[in-house]
Amino acid sequence: MLEKEVIDFEKSIIVGIITQNQSEDKLNEYLDELEFLTFTAGGTVVKRFSQKMDKPNPKTFVGTGKLEEIKYFIKDNDIKTVIFDDELTPSQSKNITKELDCKVLDRTNLILDIFAQRAETSYARTQVELAQCQYLLPRLTGMWTHLERQKGGIGMRGPGETEIETDRRIVRDRISLLKDKIKVIDKQMATQRSNRGAMVRVALVGYTNVGKSTLMNAVGKSDVFVENKLFATLDTTVRKTVIKNLPFLLSDTVGFIRKLPTQLVESFKSTLDEV
Ligand SMILES: Nc1nc2c(ncn2[C@@H]2O[C@H](COP(=O)(O)OP(=O)(O)OP(=O)(O)O)[C@@H](O)[C@H]2O)c(=O)[nH]1
Ligand SMILES: [Mg+2]
């Protein structure tokens, strides 16, 4: 069983840059975290690549020489996935994919992927899907302009544009539907909160995987899911707890991470507001 799991892990490499705002030590911390994210999402990190630069290359994130080095490594080592520590722009992602010819992800993809895997309640699923749609929307156009430029205008122009517009409209409609759905649930939750009255409330807040749920289980005698991976908890759990005759409401919440995708901050805003 264990052997099979090891074999199934997707061979990946991770890439980050050292800049004036991000020292080598800082980058190593971020890459440690990115490696843990990769493991949580079902991958194994074979090698880390880093480059010192003033600012990311607008076309390829790293320099062209570094990208070539990565390309050879991928070929020689049968790498399936390359993961960048910062969110790539739609055009960077497109250019890099074309050059490396393998799956190209960034930190945001990875976190969204883990959240999608973890979301259990309809509220969490809705929040995650909203974040995914918002990440996807600006990238839809990128996909089509890329095809148009590569294959020339003839035959691509009409259908291509129609298809972008159709796809974008579908995604935009979905976004407004999901936002409405979240609003409805928020209202229900606000009502539940006011019904709980003036009870003292305690929230466990902190970095992901520090042991919030473990503490919740110990103190609140609850049975929240605990695991040595990132983002085991997405949904807030509230338990009525009594310590030394003082009753209070204890809540366990989603954990924090550095470079949290802005799309997720927006869609989990009400969860964070509650905290
Ligand atoms: N050594 C040690 N491990 C702990 C302690 N508390 C929790 N753990 C372990 O740390 C891991 C993460 O614990 P969780 O309680 O799931 O952490 P969390 O903060 O709820 O994490 P997320 O929900 O993923 O954000 C689990 O493997 C726990 O068994 C502790 O006090 N000491
Ligand atoms: Mg937890």
184 alpha carbon, distance to own chain's centre: 24
Please, which residues have CB less than 5 A from ligand 2, an ion? 212-213, 232-233
CATH code at 95? 3.40.50.11060
Ligand nearest to the CA of 237: 2
**How far is Cα 166 from Cα 160, in angstroms, rounded to an integer?**
10
Largest CA distance in the chain: 77
Q: Return d(Cα 254, Cα 204) in angstroms, integer.
A: 9
The answer, yes or no, to whether residue 210 has pLDDT greater than 90, is: yes
CA of 208 to the centre of ligand 2 (A): 7
Q: What would the pLDDT profile of 255-273 be if each residue is shown by its tens digit? A: 989 888 888 888 887 777 7
Helix (H) / strand (E) element for 251: namely: strand 246-252
Q: Which ligand is nearest to the CA of 256?
A: 1
* Structural domain count, the chain: 3
Q: Are residues 7 and 88 in the same domain?
A: yes
Binding pocket residue ranges, ligand 1, CB within 6 Å: 208-214, 226-228, 230-233, 255
Range of the domain at 173: 119-193
- 6 and 102 inside one domain: yes
| pLDDT tens digits, one per residue of 23-73 | 999 999 999 999 999 999 999 999 999 999 999 999 999 999 999 999 999
Q: Of 170, 193, 216, which closes a domain?
A: 193
Closest residue CA from atom 30 of ligand 1: 211
Based on the domain organization, do 20 and 102 belong to the same domain?
yes
pLDDT of residue 198: 77
Residue 90 has pLDDT above 50, yes or no: yes
Q: Please indicate, yes or no, whether residues 207 and 229 belong to a single structural domain of this protein.
A: yes
Q: Of the residues 71, 106, 141, which one is the last residue of a structural domain?
A: 106
pLDDT value for 220: 85
Q: Which residue in this structure is represented by tokens 């517009």?
A: 165
